[in-house]
Amino acid sequence: MTNYRALRIHNDDQGYRTRIDTLPVPEPDAGQVLIQLSHSSINYKDALAGTGRGKILKRFPLTGGVDAAGIVVASRDTRYREGDTVIASGWGMSFDHDGGYAEYLCAPAEWLVPMPLGLDARQAMILGTAGFTAALAVDRLKVNGQHPGLGPIVVTGASGGVGSIAIDLLSQQGFEVVAVSGKPACADWLRRLGATRILGRDELPGGDRPLEKAVWGGAVDNVGGAVLARLTRTVGAHGNIACIGLAGGAQLDTTVMPLILRGVSLLGINSVDVPYPLRAEIWQRLATEWRPKHLEDILTATLDLDALPEAFERLLAGQTWGRLLVEIRR
């Protein structure tokens, strides 16, 4: 094949838009790897980039998609050979470098992770950046001393990709998990994933005082804004909050009192430029002892490249849940 299809994001005198373009298959430069892709996924960041509602991309046109998995077809790096199955996620993909919404991806070798035994490309992309981020959050919580004895873990934005996978991971490791979601129809689904209780967005306990009654042992927050501020006031002594998302706002209006008087730790989770050793370790855990028990339940839709623009709109409108898998069909 000399040409390939890609979902390209354009921003020019015709406006901000996406379309399927046909491009020549590139030759990898020194240190790069050419991958024939089979799967990708849709994350919140992808929807922001694809619609222009978030200032994500640094150049145009650019192929979208922060996740990719497939088979190496050419390599100019000794770490990878033709036929290897690899995962690519984060780094500069769909930021200042072409991403995974395409039949081929040429990327620096240091961005890649070999597919661990126990996962294939489809399963890896059901997890994708969302699963990697959720596992990274659980790792940070545990490294910082979180354990089931501290009390229940509350997961906000629970019906999204990160939230749903975090529920599965935490529950299988012995934590009592309380899910906060604005989608009542997802309640039974969240319980199947491992949540013991479901709260609506307006049912989150606590008020606006610097310290409120301690309710949670810790938290995984996908919302930010006022929700994260309330969590800082209601997490108990020596608990941790993994801060992941900002769908509810980037501003944080709180005080240092919970951090000082209760020893609460606010842990920022950045999944974009995680160094290779930790990145490979997290993927290995996801393939083995941390493998989600409900991976197929977490997958709620499978799409092709042509369906992506409409899926972006539905995700931002709150009409999706769980994980959206992209199959690269030829």
Could you read off the pLDDT of 293-309 as tens digits, one per residue?
999 999 999 999 999 99
Q: What pLDDT is stored for residue 1 in this prediction? A: 62
Which of 298, 296, 263, 284 minimizes the C-alpha distance to 139?
284
Cα–Cα distance, 261 to 228 (Å, whole number): 18
Cα–Cα distance, 210 to 174 (Å, whole number): 30
Q: What pLDDT is stored for residue 323 in this prediction? A: 98
Could you read off the pLDDT of 248-292 as tens digits, one per residue?
999 999 999 999 999 999 999 999 999 999 999 999 999 999 999
- Please report which helix (H) or strand (E) contains residue 215, including its range: none
Which of 184, 231, 223, 190 minimizes the C-alpha distance to 207?
231
With contact defined as beta carbons under 8 Å apart, do 21 and 5 qualify? yes
Cα–Cα distance, 164 to 223 (Å, whole number): 14
Question: What tokens appear for 115 in the block?
Answer: 């597919």
Query: Where in the sequence of the chain do the CATH 3.90.180.10 domains occur?
Result: 3-115+297-327
- CA 251 to chain CA centroid, Å, is 21
Could you read off the pLDDT of 80-114 as tens digits, one per residue?
999 999 999 999 999 999 999 999 999 999 999 99
The domain over range 3-115+297-327 is classified in CATH as 3.30.465.10: no
Cα–Cα distance, 93 to 77 (Å, whole number): 19
Q: What pLDDT is stored for residue 329 in this prediction? A: 84
Share of residues in the chain with pLDDT > 90 (%): 97
Handedness of CA 89, 93, 94, 100 (dihedral sign): negative
pTM above 0.85, yes or no: yes
Query: Where in the sequence of the chain do the CATH 3.40.50.720 domains occur?
Result: 129-268
Q: How many CB atoms lie within 10 A of CB 151?
A: 20
Cα–Cα distance, 241 to 258 (Å, whole number): 11
Q: What pLDDT is stored for residue 106 in this prediction? A: 98
> Which residues are within 8 A (CB) of 36 and not within 5 positions of it... i.e. 6 or more apart?
70, 71, 73, 103, 104
Query: What fold characterizes domain 129-268?
Result: Rossmann fold (3.40.50)
What are the average pLDDT values for consecutive 10-residue runs of the chain, which has 330 residues? Answer: 93 96 97 98 97 95 98 98 98 97 98 98 98 98 98 98 98 98 96 98 93 98 96 98 93 96 98 96 98 97 98 97 94
